[in-house]
Amino acid sequence: MIRLYDLSPEEIEALVTGWGQPSYRAQQIWTWLYQHLAASFEEMSSLPKSLRQKLAQETIIGVPEVVETVESTYGLTRKDLLRLVDGETIEAVLMHYNQRQTACISTQVGCSIGCPFCATGQMGFHRDLTSGEIVAQAVHFERVLRQESSHLSNLVLMGMGEPLLNYEASLEAIRRLNDHDGFDLGQRSITLSTAGVVPGIERLAGEELQITLAVSLHAATDRLRDQLVPLNRRYPLDALLSACYHYAERTGRRVSFEWALIEGVNDTPDQAHALAARLRGMLAHVNLIPLNPSSDYAKQASSSARVTTFTDILDQHHIAHSLRVHRGIDIQAGCGQLRQRQG
């Protein structure tokens, strides 16, 4: 079956004209999918019944089934277990803030990077998501928010998987969600997170997009990063940061560097000084994240005293940074906690 959320406007047009329908029907379908967020063909009331029947016979809309929903203690974070058409499952997260509503969505089932402190990496890699499966997660949460008289304001590709190892589908999903005649989410409201796939960063720099690039850095020396982010053995820090510098110069967009603070591992003064030296002169921001617990990783989040020492050093070197507040760790919805589960 053809999944409509996998199709571009041109592909939908080719589909319906191939059935003998006028080309303008494609725009009507696009509007139902991305503006009205239709959950069934019967909702597409501006289409003739014969076309709705043909769509039902030949296609599916392609929104995943919600297997389970869990909410954090204070109701500010929601995690959904979603079942895909082939039975695979992924997790996606919705976070409520004062001025924005942010969805954290997945780009792969599992992940091949294998970072030891990440639950997704611990489950291994199953398959890439299609562009439509990525898009459909955002559509799903927009439906949820509209029921609350709200809407999605920010999107982060920071869920399960490595977006730049599923480059074509991730970029197609971003462009589709940004489409002004459809979902119309601004590029500057979208963040793509990578563990450091250098060729993907270099390619992304030439896409003429204004999305935010976030890099999961976690260490400022190759020896330590080889342990924390195994991809570093293929793309070491000099190559990675050179690509990031080029991205910032080419796009004019500040690069965000993610740093999970792990007690006694990467929260030392030496690492703070090394990080400052690496980022000096780059349009960059460090997003410090106290390590979220994982059952297969024994280390703990840094103490407040060690965090203060680390941030004081960054301040001395005039490196912009912020400390992220824990979100959703009671429901395993924090960074590095998403994994495939049985519904």
CA distance linking residue 166 with residue 172, whole number of Å: 10
Cα-Cα end-to-end distance for the chain = 24
Are both 52 and 102 inside the same structural domain? Answer: no
Q: What is the pLDDT of residue 321?
A: 97
Residues sharing a CB contact under 8 Å with residue 239, sequence separation 6 or more, in sequence order: 198
Q: What is the pLDDT of residue 214?
A: 97
Is 104 assigned a catalytic role?
no
Residues sharing a CB contact under 8 Å with residue 304, sequence separation 6 or more, in sequence order: none
Pair 241, 278: CB distance under 8 Å: yes
Q: Which of 91, 133, 142, 162 is catalytic?
A: 91
Pair 290, 283: CB distance under 8 Å: no
Q: What is the pLDDT of residue 295?
A: 66
Task: Classify residue 340: in a domain, yes or no.
Answer: no
Is 263 assigned a catalytic role?
no
Task: Classify residue 83: in a domain, yes or no.
Answer: yes
Q: What is the pLDDT of residue 334?
A: 47
Are both 258 and 306 inside the same structural domain? Answer: yes
Q: Domain containing 250: what range?
A: 65-331
pTM equals 0.91
**What is the mean pLDDT of each successive set of 10 residues along the chain, which is 343 residues long?**
96 98 98 96 97 97 93 85 94 92 96 87 90 97 95 96 98 97 96 98 96 97 97 98 97 96 96 98 95 78 95 98 68 47 48
Residues sharing a CB contact under 8 Å with residue 149, sequence separation 6 or more, in sequence order: none
Are both 36 and 123 inside the same structural domain? Answer: no
Are both 142 and 243 inside the same structural domain? Answer: yes
Q: What is the pLDDT of residue 75?
A: 74
Q: Which of 111, 115, 244, 335 is catalytic?
A: 335
Are both 18 and 137 inside the same structural domain? Answer: no
SS3 156: strand
Look up residue 262 and give its DSSP letter: B
Q: What is the pLDDT of residue 218?
A: 97
CA distance linking residue 181 with residue 189, whole number of Å: 17
Q: What is the pLDDT of residue 95?
A: 93
